[in-house]
Amino acid sequence: MAKSKALWGGRFKSGAARRLRDYTESISFDWKLYRHDIAGSIAHATMLARIGVLSREELAQIVKGLEEIRDEIDAGKFRWNLEREDVHMNVEAALTERYPAGAKLHTGRSRNDQVATAMRLWIRDEIAANQEAISALQRALISWAARDIGVVIPGYTHLQRAQPVLLAHHLLAYVEMLERDFGRLGDAAKRADVLPLGSGALAGSTLPLDRKFVAKLLGFSRVSDNSMDAVSDRDFIVEYNAAAALLAVHLSRLAEDLILWSSAEFHFIRIGDAYTTGSSLMPQKKNPDIAELARGKSARVIGNLVASLTLLKGLPMTYNRDLQEDKERLFDTAETVQATLLVFAEMLGDVEVDKASCRRAASDPLLLATDLADWLVRRGVPFRNAHHLVGEAVGLAEQRKIPITQLSLADWKKISPVFDASALEVFSVEKGLKARKTLGSPNGNLVKAQLARWGKILAGRKKS
């Protein structure tokens, strides 16, 4: 079997077997860390010069070389070498080939603390991008809610019509869910905001490394307190995957509503042609494939969370090669949720509401059955009794196959003498929504106030 050139110094007399090289390489996916790896290397080199390990000239060469390599990768001109296994060795080897001072760069560090640093830098940037995309989707929901502020639809429980709500109120529910996702990602970023560089392989260094200086250069708020934990900690990846999984679940729930609402059975909305597809066989079809894919991709993101937890569960201290497997799951999760957020924000701007269909669905008088029970409560009837009496009325109307509003006054009196003609005034959607004045209800004025509040929050976030 062919052998590749040894990378790891005098301990090894021959290189790795080609099959082993192909099995263990990570450059095919960890190249994504190159900007963060190079940023960490520049900070590390700057610190080495500060403590006298590098001369000014050597530091200048290293920084110049690393910036050249970064620019070449940006331009797609850098040649990755599988023989060098990962992004860290590719960058360092290329640097040393150009500038001999590059051989000093790895002083006082291990790939263990190096990759942990690059991952934390990467995830910090990714969270910022995710939060920006969440805010964009929230703005799209707010915009849709504002343009269809007067539209009433049935609210559902058990996928059965329950009570009337404003469409805007329904959309604002997703704004609230996304805000929790925004916060969870921010919390995950706090735990990632710790510098591991300087921990070495697992036991620090005998050199006088200035870790706090490096932390300041890279924008970390603090340095790790335990070198063994620092190189093996992947909690921040699990936290990110967990926050992203719940975000994906929320996006999947939004997708499900869009899929239902765009069906012929509901016909509440029409999604624009740019975000739907046709059928290879049935010419009449217009499928909500974007929403369906988002619903399906949530399974991948949930699976990535499970994989990251399972990866860690049996590892002894400290670094183990198993941890190479954390990256593909992490990168896939980040790419999936970011792409879904961005396409949803665009798609919601191309949704048209069928107001007539919504009006027909919301005009079902049974949506206001609970309001009728409340009417009885205001007249001194205990709620459980009121619930039973209204249930009798519903059953009688179903038996006669007529709307409940067509029961005669005599019918109502037979059910309970408390009923009078004014009871039928309850069956007005407009009055029913106005009567809902508890905080957080779908009252039109309250919903408008929430839209205004969210508009200010998101406008401020956009400026920052």
Q: Which of these is catalytic: 205, 262, 279, 308?
A: 279
Show the tokens assigned to 363. Answer: 């005009």
Is 387 known to be catalytic? Answer: no
User: In which residue are the tokens 């390990």 written?
Assistant: 53
**Cα separations (Å) of 245 from 93, 129, 242, 302?**
37, 16, 5, 5
Is 279 known to be catalytic? Answer: yes
Q: Whole-angstrom Cα distance, residue 325 to residue 115? A: 13
Backbone angles phi, psi at 8, to 5 degrees: -105, 30
Q: How crowded is residue 163: how many other Cβ atoms within 10 Å of its Cβ?
A: 20
DSSP code string of 6-73: P-SGGG-SS--BHHHHHHH--HHHHGGGHHHHHHHHHHHHHHHHHTTSS-HHHHHHHHHHHHHHHHHH
Q: Which of these is catalytic: 14, 158, 408, 464?
A: 158
Backbone angles phi, psi at 16, to 5 degrees: -70, 150
Helix-, strand-, coil-residue percentages of the chain, each rounded to 5? 70, 5, 25
Of 85, 110, 80, the C-alpha closest to 23 is 85
Torsion of CA 76, 82, 83, 86, to 10 degrees: 80
- All residues at 6 or more sequence positions from 3 whose CB lies less than 8 Å from its CB, including other chains: 14, 15, 16, 17, 18
Catalytic residues: 158, 279
